[in-house]
């Protein structure tokens, strides 16, 4: 039986089995994200979530993440069956969609808090999964193919997310509440299971683990991640992390602010949320393909500096909108430059993390990012209560711009790479 045209195209774009499975996994991950992730904040609002509860929904998981990311990185660094660890941690993480779908059948009150609890607990396996997938992209792709594979993978996720979001938004309009959300969450979990099947077929047999250097007297293992050691031995990692933490701090502030502004201030319903998400994802599909080529031709500083500088204006522009149609060009702007930033983060982590300790350094980066991810949504919600949502959005733009400034000052704009630490 011949492949569908879509699958045949992916097979032609992949040069080996691992690339094919990365692309297959990204297809179903996009379906899952389009059906579930795009609408979870709206579901929380339909259940009566307050701004603080909406911020906790996006922020509380990061508390657990901050404590688990470094141990997760060390675990994956030493595990012998990396494919198995990646597949099982992904399946357990994405079971949260099935659990949330069951909430209306189990609880008639405290539904938002149940959603927060389930989302938070899913971070236990997610701490391994997030380290593992980035490490796998570094382990199983050739350096000369890495930018293309990462860009194409993210493009596939964006395309399938856009299609699934459009479909999910339509289903939410046609079916009665809360059964409409239960249906799309169960479908999202089924898509997640298919994605895990692809991950379980990644082939690590041709990969040999780099030799982890023994700790020296100058850098004992207990102080491996001390600030002094990192600044002296891995300055690229430090500056990269600082810029990312500041920029994503502003982004995390917008996680509760954008749905609040769209739904409460401008009066968007599920169809508008779905349309905006679809426009963004379609734009990201094209942008990832373009940025995948740019990753070969331009420096990491150029990719990160340009994209974070441009994206920093998004929250400010959103605060100036007075009608829903004005959000459509902003969705395009969001898609173009968020895609470029994501490309830069993936490539940057693989460049500035020493190969032998890559999972541990990714875990350290994830722990710091998790602290930011917990604090900043709460900061955004607090600014809404203290002032108003327009001031909160302006604050988010300023924080994003500070991260962009770090990239522009710390990374050269004219070299193909910044530092490739071995």
Query: DSSP of 349-363, one letter per residue?
Result: HHHHS-GGGHHHHHH
Tens-place pLDDT, residues 92-121: 999 999 999 999 888 888 889 999 999 888
Q: Are 206 and 197 in contact (CB under 8 A)?
A: no
Q: Positive or negative, the Cα torsion across 383, 384, 385, 388? A: positive
Residue 194 — very low, low, confident or very high, per pLDDT cuts 50/70/90?
A: very high
Residue 284 has pLDDT above 60, yes or no: yes
The residue among 49, 58, 74, 142 whose CA lies nearest residue 372 is 58
Residue 221's pLDDT is 47
Residue 170 has pLDDT above 80, yes or no: yes
Residue 162 has pLDDT above 50, yes or no: yes
pTM score > 0.85 for this model?
no
Give the separation between CA 402 and CA 406, rounded to whole angstroms: 7
How far are the Cα atoms of 77, 164, 249, 251, 334 from residue 245, in angstroms, in the given order? Answer: 24, 30, 6, 10, 19
Helix ranges restricted to H, 79-217: 82-94, 96-106, 111-121, 123-140, 143-174, 179-199
Residue 296 has pLDDT above 80, yes or no: no
Tens-place pLDDT, residues 358-399: 787 888 888 888 888 888 888 888 888 888 889 999 999 999
DSSP 33: I
Q: Positive or negative, the Cα torsion across 97, 101, 106, 111? A: positive
Tens-place pLDDT, residues 314-369: 999 999 998 889 999 999 999 999 988 988 888 888 887 777 677 878 888 888 88
CA torsion, ordered 64, 67, 70, 75, to nearest 10 deg: -70
Percent of residues, the chain, with pLDDT higher than 70: 89
CA distance between the termini of the chain: 46
Residue 72 — very low, low, confident or very high, per pLDDT cuts 50/70/90?
A: confident
Tens-place pLDDT, residues 205-224: 765 556 555 555 444 444 55
Q: Are 397 and 312 in contact (CB under 8 A)?
A: yes
Residue 422's pLDDT is 36
Residue 137's pLDDT is 85
Residue 332's pLDDT is 94
3-state secondary structure of 388: coil
Residue 1's pLDDT is 44
Sort 417 into a burial class: Cβ within 10 Å, 0-12 / 13-18 / 19+.
Answer: middle
Rounded to the nearest integer, the mean pLDDT of the chain is 83
Residue 421's pLDDT is 41
Mean pLDDT of 276-290: 85
Percent of residues, the chain, with pLDDT higher than 90: 25
Residue 334's pLDDT is 93
Helical pair 5-13 and 17-32, crossing angle rounded to 10 deg: 130
Buried-state track 180-213, b at ≥16 Cβ within 10 A, e below 16: bbbbbbbbbbebbeebbebbbebebeeeeeeeee
Residue 416 — very low, low, confident or very high, per pLDDT cuts 50/70/90?
A: very low
Token pair, residue 386, equals 């203290």
Radius of gyration of the chain (CA): 21
Mean pLDDT of 135-159: 83
| Domains of the chain, each with CATH number or no CATH | 15-204+227-410 (1.20.1250.20)
């Amino acid at each position: 039986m011949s492949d569908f045209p879509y699958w045949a195209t992916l097979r032609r774009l992949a040069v080996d089995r691992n690339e094919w499975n990365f692309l297959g996994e990204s297809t179903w991950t996009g379906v899952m994200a389009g059906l579930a992730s795009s609408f979870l904040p709206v579901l929380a609002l339909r259940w009566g979530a307050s701004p603080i509860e909406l911020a906790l929904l996006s922020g509380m998981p990061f508390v657990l993440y901050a404590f688990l990311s470094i141990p997760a990185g060390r675990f994956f660094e030493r595990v012998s069956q990396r494919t198995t660890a990646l597949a099982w941690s992904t399946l357990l993480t994405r079971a949260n969609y099935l659990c949330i779908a069951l909430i209306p059948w189990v609880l008639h009150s405290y539904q938002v808090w149940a959603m927060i609890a389930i989302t938070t607990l899913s971070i236990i396996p997610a701490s391994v999964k997030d380290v593992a997938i980035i490490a796998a992209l570094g382990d199983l792709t050739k350096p000369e193919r890495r930018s293309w594979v990462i860009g194409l993978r993210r493009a596939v996720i964006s395309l399938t997310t856009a299609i699934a979001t459009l479909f999910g938004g339509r289903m939410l309009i046609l079916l009665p509440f809360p059964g409409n959300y239960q249906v799309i969450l169960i479908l999202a979990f089924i898509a997640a299971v298919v994605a895990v099947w692809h991950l379980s077929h990644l082939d690590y047999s041709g990969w040999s683990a780099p030799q982890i250097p023994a700790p020296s007297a100058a850098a004992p293992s207990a102080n491996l991640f001390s600030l002094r050691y990192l600044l002296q031995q891995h300055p690229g990692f430090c500056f990269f992390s600082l810029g990312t933490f500041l920029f994503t701090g502003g982004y995390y502030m917008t996680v509760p602010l954008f749905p609040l502004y769209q739904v409460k201030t401008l009066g968007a319903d599920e169809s508008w949320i779905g349309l905006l998400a679809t426009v963004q994802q379609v734009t990201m599909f094209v942008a990832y393909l373009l940025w995948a080529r740019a990753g070969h031709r331009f420096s990491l500083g150029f990719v990160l500096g340009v994209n974070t500088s441009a994206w920093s204006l998004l929250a400010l522009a959103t605060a100036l909108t007075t009608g829903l149609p004005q959000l459509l060009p902003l969705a395009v702007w969001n898609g173009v430059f968020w895609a470029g930033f994501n490309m830069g983060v993936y490539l940057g982590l693989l460049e500035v993390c020493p190969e032998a300790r890559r999972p541990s350094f990714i875990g350290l980066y994830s722990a710091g990012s998790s602290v930011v991810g917990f604090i900043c949504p709460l900061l955004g919600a607090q600014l809404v209560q203290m002032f108003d949502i327009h001031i909160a959005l302006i604050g988010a733009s300023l924080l994003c711009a500070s991260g962009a400034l770090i990239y522009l000052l710390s990374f050269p704009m004219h070299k193909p790479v910044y530092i490739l630490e071995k």
